[in-house]
Amino acid sequence: MRGFQSEPTPMSAAVASCSRKVLKGLMMPKFIIFSVFILFCQHSLANSLRFKCVYPTYSGEDFHGKESYVPFELEFTLDTITQKAFLVGNNGMAEVTYLENDKGWNFLEITGTGNIIVTTITQQMNSVHSRNVILSSLIATQYYGSCSL
């Protein structure tokens, strides 16, 4: 005996059509959620600042205003929505603390060994990068330069 096979009826065609509409209806909210997500991501990316800084001169305990043979460069990225900031330098990338006032921006890094590094950028885009490092003795240096957005 063969299995039961039914002929398509107008009722089954209506059910199939309705099923397609329901599935299509379920996909529409996913599409809307995806679209909102993409717009949010673009909005987030549009609200970040990227400071590219170049420091051609530096000072230390025994020297002041010395020209670098190769200018020292740093980059800071600031997400103005989450208020998270990152330093990108010659030793990789690190999250840093960000503080802003009406005159400019400050970035504070506390290294894994407890040394403190502070970078200040004015609204005129002048910058100073200060390092206070304790190895066998205190080594303090400052780098002077400018940044661009």
pLDDT at 103: 94
Cβ neighbours, 10 Å, residue 73 = 15
pLDDT at 99: 92
3-state secondary structure of 29: helix
Write down the mean pLDDT value for the chain. 76
DSSP lists the bridge partners of residue 88 as 75, 93
CA atoms of 16 and 62, how far apart (whole Å): 85
CA atoms of 123 and 18, how far apart (whole Å): 61
For the stretch 50-65, pLDDT in tens is: 999 999 998 887 766 6
Cα separations in angstroms, 130 against 6, 39, 58, 146? 83, 39, 10, 14
Cα separations in angstroms, 149 against 47, 52, 62, 103? 13, 6, 33, 16
pLDDT band at 22, cuts 50/70/90?
very low
The widest CA-to-CA distance across the chain, in whole angstroms, is 102
| Of residues 43 and 128, more confidently modeled | 128
Average pLDDT over residues 137-143: 89
